[in-house]
Structure 1
Amino acid sequence: MAEKNNVVLIGMPGSGKSTLGIVLAKIMTKDFVDADIVIQNQCDKTLQKIIDACGPEGFIEVENEILSKIDAENSVIATGGSAVYSDEAMKHLAEIGTVVYLKISYDQLVHRLSDLQERGVVLKGGIGMSLKELYDERLPLYEQYAGITVDVNDLTITAAARKVADALAHEGVK
């Protein structure tokens, strides 16, 4: 059983999980694992190609299977925004680390995201699903799985990473 010394970042696409995760790993002297890249490497396809080939539900199954087996130590793990659709994966990640929800307002999200289709974003409601519908669908899931919630609105990546590091230190996470 892996020690619970990882930090797991969850949140909407564009909330900064990958970019903030790298800075946070440096601040906390941890390794960095980008779950989306792990999935792409194991499937030998981009996220968008996996979604196109398997559909949203199929992608969620693939993501769940891979995330449920992530065996990291002393790492910051940036999950994909859709990780919260996979209860098994989220339970595993919570067992091996502290789950941090990077909270961002809908308005900030609109500013940060350009094209969902290019980002390999899982739209469970299909291609016509709006960003607002996606936000409203995922918000309660992020809140459900969060061990710690950090509001990253209006912060630079570095400031947001420091805020997360401070919140973790406050909880006794090293």
Structure 2
Amino acid sequence: MKNIVLIGMPGAGKSTIGVVLAKILGYQFIDSDLLIQRQEGKVLHELIEEHGIEGFLSIEEQVNRDIHVTHSVIATGGSVVYREPAMESLGKEGVIVYIQLSYENIKARVGDLDKRGVVIHNGCTLLDLYKERCPLYEKYADVTVNVDSMTIEGAIAKVRTAVQEALEGEV
């Protein structure tokens, strides 16, 4: 089976869903934000401060392009969709699943954007970011799974079913 690549807004639950889904499927779990931090030796918000947004996006693109695994659930950073080469590479190796959540739910979950290491231009709000990114998530997704008002267990089951249906359609 191909990899499962989770994309979506910060706070959508990509890592939480990814860890449990990997356990259920017997897959490896990879968090690309953690790969970036390990490679660079700094946390995300420090990298954004040090390299600026474009510099950070270049690092993120390189790390995601360099992920070559099988039987893995990969949780990506929310900004991965800004770089097409990264998305093309991830798409060749897996089914891309957009974990979709309403703006209201994202806002309730996210907390401090700066400490979280979110790529956001000065003066932009979370709503601006949401409106900018959602069309990109939709563009790259093979499967979109809306998890509004769902428990974590319900979200995981819905993602698993959607991925299985997508893979059956490829055969």
Shorter-chain-normalised TM-score: which range? over 0.9
- Give the letter for the 2:137 counterpart: Y
Q: TM-score, normalised by structure 2?
A: 0.95
Q: TM-score, normalised by structure 1?
A: 0.94
Asked if residue 136 in structure 1 is aligned to residue 96 in structure 2, the reply is no
Q: Tell me by how many angstroms 1:127 deviates.
A: 2.8
Deviation at 1:91, TM superposition (A): 0.1
Between the aligned partners of 2:48 and 2:34, the Cα distance in structure 1 is 14
For 2:154 and 2:53, locate their aligned partners in 1 and report how far apart those are by CA, in whole Å: 34
Task: Specify every segment of 5 or more residues in structure 2 that has no aligned partner in the other structure, as ranges.
Answer: none
In the alignment, which residue of structure 2 is the partner of 1:157? Answer: 152
Superposition CA RMSD, Å: 1.0
User: Does 2:13 match 1:16?
Assistant: yes
Supply the distance in 2 between the matched residues of 1:26 and 1:159 (Cα, whole angstroms).
15
Q: How many residue pairs were aligned?
A: 168
1:63 and 2:60 aligned? yes
Percent identical: 47
One-letter identity of the residue aligned with 1:165: R
Identify the match of residue 50 of structure 2 among 39, 48, 53.
53
Deviation at 1:5, TM superposition (A): 1.2
The equivalent residue for 1:38 is 35
Ranges of 4+ aligned residues in structure 1 off by more than 6 Å: none
SS of equivalent to 1:77: strand
2: CA distance, partners of 1:90 / 1:172: 18
AA partner of residue 57 (structure 1)? E
Q: Which amino acid aligns with 2:129?
A: L
Deviations 1:22-55 (Å, cap 9, x if unpaired)?
A: 0111122111000000000000110111000001
SS state of the match for residue 172, structure 1?
helix
Structure 1, unpaired ranges of 5+ = none
